[in-house]
Structure 1
Amino acid sequence: MLRNLVAIILISIFITSCGGDDYYNIATFHAKSGDYEKAIEYFTKAIDTNPKDGEAYYQRAYCRQTIGGDNELIIADYTKSLEFKPNDHEAYMNRGVAKMAIGKNSEAIVDYIKSIEINPKYSVVYANLGNVYKLNFDNDKACENWNKSLELGNENVRERIELNCK
């Protein structure tokens, strides 16, 4: 009984004395375990403790995106993360996905193109760019980007090319 009480007290002290890095580490543990809701909670605590933790914004956005969260919040978090790491091609691509999900296709295109400028060998972003062009009824640009994605090794676009491109 006394041992349990001591353990509870120690855990309470640890939780209440956590710094941003501690919260970030706890959040990362939950994310890796697949408990994205709990991860979001702890990434939020990490951000509250250290509002300049760009990686915590990125990871919170990624967790939200993984569980189909509010795209406006996802976009805001990726935007904040990009303030601290402006050359993060994945943040641009993922923000583009969130923008595309809410019909902001022109803004998604800008993000995808920025991602490509930073990392022109990232096949997935070309696939996404092809998808948004297809949504905008620009089949030529869709096919061009799907073919580039395939050229870079993304076999997932092969069916789209076969169905839509000559």
Structure 2
Amino acid sequence: MKLSGAVLFFAGLALAGCQTGPASTDLIRLDRAQGSEQNIASLSAVIAANPQDPEGYNVRGSAYGRAGDFRRALDDFNRAIQLNPRLYQAYANRALVYRNMGKPSEAVNDYNTALQINPNYDVALIGRGNIYRQAGRTNEAFNDFNKAIQQETTDGRAWHNRGLIYQLRGQHAQAIEDFSKAISLSPSSPEPYNGRGVSYVALNDDDNAFADFNHAIELNDKLAESWANQALVYERKGDMARAYKSYSHAVRLDPNYKPAQDGAARTRGNSGT
């Protein structure tokens, strides 16, 4: 089966690229060290010695969140807010837990409260912007990311996510600039490499795209998106055997990842397998 030109190739690749980032750059990543029983026990000892200090609950709540214990995390953030209703960091932390729990409305409410207290808090701007972006409210999302950048945030997610919106708008030169800035701030994160690679493909710069996708795989070889993106460059080059192999690997990593499913189906017949 032959594809009908670069537009179809990029349509698939854009889908792969635009599915990066939302979850992977803003959701809680489980962290065994921060969420360990020993760490939480030491934080609990601090709280026992200073039970009226909201910061202790805020820090332990973050540790519970890293451990995936969202119920206890919420309890701690609620207590921190009860002790200090103007602790904007606790609202933003609780918002992230709500987002992980699939409660975006509650998350936005908390981000709004954090920003009412501190309008320049980059964590809340980026967090709220991500929820807006996933909801298709791209102009509001862009404004949040833009404001965080204007506040000179050092959080690469602001540039990465604004880059995704530029990409969605077809402004690939601006997207590449933003992804490059995100990479300079977070060089160990594979997501902006995938994002930049997608925009390179849109500009028919397959060599730079391929380098970015390969580097994303080097940083984390467990992301289906990276393998599917690599496969699409192989497919553009007509190397269906390698394309099918990479698509198939992506499907094994994430059986529900549609760009990988579709790519494997497209290349199977021409892969020699």
- TM-score category of the 2 structures, normalised to the smaller one: 0.7 to 0.9
Deviations 1:28-86 (A, max 9, x none): 45324321122112211110112423121111112333x33301111111111111111
Alignment of 1:109 onto 2:217: no
Alignment of 1:46 onto 2:148: yes
The one-letter amino acid of 1:110's match is: A
Backbone CA RMSD of aligned residues: 2.3
| Kept in 1: contact 2:244–2:263 (CA 8 A) | no
TM value normalised by structure 2? 0.50
Change (3 A) 1:161 1:32: closer
TM value normalised by structure 1? 0.78
Unaligned runs of 5+ in 1: 1-13
Please identify, of 86-95 and 22-31, the stretch whose mean Cα deviation from structure 2 is larger: 22-31
Equivalent in the alignment of 1:62 = 164
Equivalent in the alignment of 2:69 = none
Change (3 A) 1:127 1:25: closer
Equivalent in the alignment of 1:163 = 269
**What secondary structure is seen at the aligned counterpart in 1 of 2:193?**
helix
The one-letter amino acid of 2:262's match is: N
The one-letter amino acid of 1:95's match is: R
Change (3 A) 1:139 1:24: closer
Partners of 1:147 and 1:24 lie apart in 2 by 34
The one-letter amino acid of 1:151's match is: R
Unaligned runs of 5+ in 2: 1-114
Name whichever structure is richer in helix by fraction.
1
**What secondary structure is seen at the aligned counterpart in 2 of 1:137?**
coil
Alignment of 1:143 onto 2:244: yes
Deviations 1:85-137 (A, max 9, x none): 11111211121111111101000100110111111121222121111112123
Partners of 1:92 and 1:26 lie apart in 2 by 23
| Kept in 2: contact 1:130–1:143 (CA 8 A) | yes
Equivalent in the alignment of 1:31 = 133
The one-letter amino acid of 2:221's match is: P
Alignment of 1:93 onto 2:199: no
The higher relative CO (CA closer than 8 Å, separation ≥ 6) is in 2
Following superposition, the deviation at residue 140 of structure 1 comes to 3.3
| Kept in 2: contact 1:149–1:157 (CA 8 A) | no
Alignment of 1:129 onto 2:230: yes
**Number of residues of Structure 1 aligned to a counterpart in Structure 2:** 151
The one-letter amino acid of 2:176's match is: I
Partners of 1:37 and 1:97 lie apart in 2 by 21
